[in-house]
Structure 1
Amino acid sequence: MLRKLIAITLCVFATTAHAELDIKEVTSPGGINAWVVEEPSIPFVALEIRFRGGTSLDLPGKRGATNLMMGLLEEGAADMTAQEFQTAREALAASYGFSASDDSVGISAQFLTENQDAALELLRQALIAPTFDQDAVDRVRGQVLANIASEEKSPNSIASAAFNAAAFGDHPYGTNSDGTVDSVNALTQTDIINAHKNALTRDRIYVSVVGNVTAAQVGQMLDTLLGDLPEQGPESPDDIAFGLTGGTTVIDYATPQAVAYFGHAGMKRDDPDFFAAYILNHVLGAGGFESRLMHEVREKRGLTYGIGTYLVPKFHAEMMIGTVASSNATIAEAISVTRDVWADTAENGITDVELTAAKTYLTGEYPLRFDGNSDIANIMVGMQMIGLSPDYVINRNVFIEAVTLDDVNRVAAELLAPADLHFVVVGQPEGLLTTSN
Structure 2
Amino acid sequence: MVAAGLALLPLAAAPAQAAAKIQHLISPGGIEAWFVQDSTVPLIAMEYAFGGGATQDPADKPGVANLVADLIDEGSENLDSKAFHEHLDRRAIELSFAATRDYFRGSLRMLRDNRDEAFDLLRMSLTSAHFDAADVERIRSEVLSGLRRETSDPGSLAGRKFLKIAFGDHPYGRPASGTLESVPKIDVADLKDYVRRVLAKDTLKIAVVGDVDPATLGQLLDKTFGGLPAKASLTPVPNIVAAAPPQRAFIPLDVPQTVVTFGGPGFRRHDPNFMAAYVVNHILGGGSSSRLYREVREKRGLAYSIYESLLWMDHSALFVGNTGTRADRAGETVDAVEREVRRMAEDGPTGKELDEAKSYLKGSQMLALDTSSNLAGALLQYQLDRLPIDYIEKRNAIIDAVTLDDAKQAAQRLWGKGLITVIVGRAPQAVAQPAAATAPSSTAN
What TM-score do the two structures reach when normalised by structure 1? 0.93
Once the two structures are TM-superposed, the CA of residue 16 in structure 1 deviates from its matched residue by: 6.5
8 Å CA contact retained: 1:74, 1:82: yes
Q: Given the alignment of the two structures, is residue 284 of structure 1 paired with residue 300 of structure 2, yes or no?
A: no
Alignment correspondent of 2:126: 127
Between 1:137-146 and 1:396-405, the stretch displaced more is: 396-405
Measure the CA separation in 2 of the matches of 1:294 and 1:42: 39
* SS at 2:328 equivalent: coil
Measure the CA separation in 2 of the matches of 1:304 and 1:93: 41
Q: For residues 230-269 of structure 1, what are the structure 2 equivalents within 5 Å?
A: 230-233=229-232, 234-269=234-269
Alignment correspondent of 2:273: 273
Once the two structures are TM-superposed, the CA of residue 18 in structure 1 deviates from its matched residue by: 6.3
Once the two structures are TM-superposed, the CA of residue 244 in structure 1 deviates from its matched residue by: 4.6
* SS at 2:341 equivalent: helix
Q: Given the alignment of the two structures, is residue 421 of structure 1 paired with residue 407 of structure 2, yes or no?
A: no
* SS at 1:245 equivalent: coil
Q: For residues 73-222 of structure 1, what are the structure 2 equivalents within 5 Å?
A: 73-222=72-221
Once the two structures are TM-superposed, the CA of residue 360 in structure 1 deviates from its matched residue by: 1.7
Measure the CA separation in 2 of the matches of 1:339 and 1:51: 39
Alignment correspondent of 1:11: none
CA deviation profile, 1:211-250 (whole Å, cap 9, x unmatched): 1112233222211101111222223311112125313211
8 Å CA contact retained: 2:285, 2:306: yes
8 Å CA contact retained: 1:331, 1:429: no
The one-letter code of the counterpart of 1:71 is D
Unaligned runs of 5+ in 1: 1-14
Once the two structures are TM-superposed, the CA of residue 385 in structure 1 deviates from its matched residue by: 0.5
The one-letter code of the counterpart of 2:422 is V
Once the two structures are TM-superposed, the CA of residue 179 in structure 1 deviates from its matched residue by: 0.9
Stretches (4+) displaced over 4 A: 18-21
Once the two structures are TM-superposed, the CA of residue 322 in structure 1 deviates from its matched residue by: 0.9
Measure the CA separation in 2 of the matches of 1:337 and 1:42: 49
8 Å CA contact retained: 2:281, 2:310: yes
Unaligned runs of 5+ in 2: 1-13, 440-445
The one-letter code of the counterpart of 2:124 is Q
CA deviation profile, 1:184-208 (whole Å, cap 9, x unmatched): 1111111111111122111211001
Once the two structures are TM-superposed, the CA of residue 334 in structure 1 deviates from its matched residue by: 1.0
* SS at 1:289 equivalent: coil
Alignment correspondent of 2:27: 28
CA deviation profile, 1:22-81 (whole Å, cap 9, x unmatched): 111012233221111011343221111111210111123221111101101121111111
The one-letter code of the counterpart of 1:253 is L
8 Å CA contact retained: 2:264, 2:414: no
Once the two structures are TM-superposed, the CA of residue 21 in structure 1 deviates from its matched residue by: 5.1
CA deviation profile, 1:3-23 (whole Å, cap 9, x unmatched): xxxxxxxxxxxx863695511
Measure the CA separation in 2 of the matches of 1:264 and 1:314: 14
- The 1:16–1:380 alpha-carbon spacing in structure 2 relative to 1, beyond 3 Å, is closer
8 Å CA contact retained: 1:240, 1:317: yes
The one-letter code of the counterpart of 2:344 is T
The one-letter code of the counterpart of 2:401 is A
The one-letter code of the counterpart of 2:259 is V
8 Å CA contact retained: 1:19, 1:394: no
Q: Given the alignment of the two structures, is residue 342 of structure 1 paired with residue 344 of structure 2, yes or no?
A: no
- The 1:41–1:261 alpha-carbon spacing in structure 2 relative to 1, beyond 3 Å, is closer
Once the two structures are TM-superposed, the CA of residue 366 in structure 1 deviates from its matched residue by: 1.2
* SS at 1:141 equivalent: helix
Measure the CA separation in 2 of the matches of 1:230 and 1:183: 28
- The 1:21–1:273 alpha-carbon spacing in structure 2 relative to 1, beyond 3 Å, is farther
8 Å CA contact retained: 2:341, 2:418: no
The two structures, once aligned, show a CA RMSD in angstroms of 1.6
Q: Given the alignment of the two structures, is residue 332 of structure 1 paired with residue 331 of structure 2, yes or no?
A: yes
Q: Which has the higher helix share?
A: 1
Q: For residues 11-26 of structure 1, what are the structure 2 equivalents within 5 Å?
A: 17=16, 22-26=21-25
Once the two structures are TM-superposed, the CA of residue 420 in structure 1 deviates from its matched residue by: 3.7
Measure the CA separation in 2 of the matches of 1:214 and 1:343: 54
* SS at 2:283 equivalent: helix
Measure the CA separation in 2 of the matches of 1:59 and 1:30: 33
Measure the CA separation in 2 of the matches of 1:146 and 1:161: 17
Measure the CA separation in 1 of the matches of 2:15 and 2:26: 28
* SS at 1:268 equivalent: coil
8 Å CA contact retained: 1:62, 1:191: no
Measure the CA separation in 2 of the matches of 1:274 and 1:168: 21
The one-letter code of the counterpart of 1:248 is R
Measure the CA separation in 2 of the matches of 1:116 and 1:272: 41
Q: What is the aligned residue count?
A: 421
The one-letter code of the counterpart of 1:266 is G
Give me the identity figure in percent: 35
The one-letter code of the counterpart of 2:351 is D
8 Å CA contact retained: 2:59, 2:171: no
Once the two structures are TM-superposed, the CA of residue 134 in structure 1 deviates from its matched residue by: 0.6
Q: For residues 54-73 of structure 1, what are the structure 2 equivalents within 5 Å?
A: 54-73=53-72
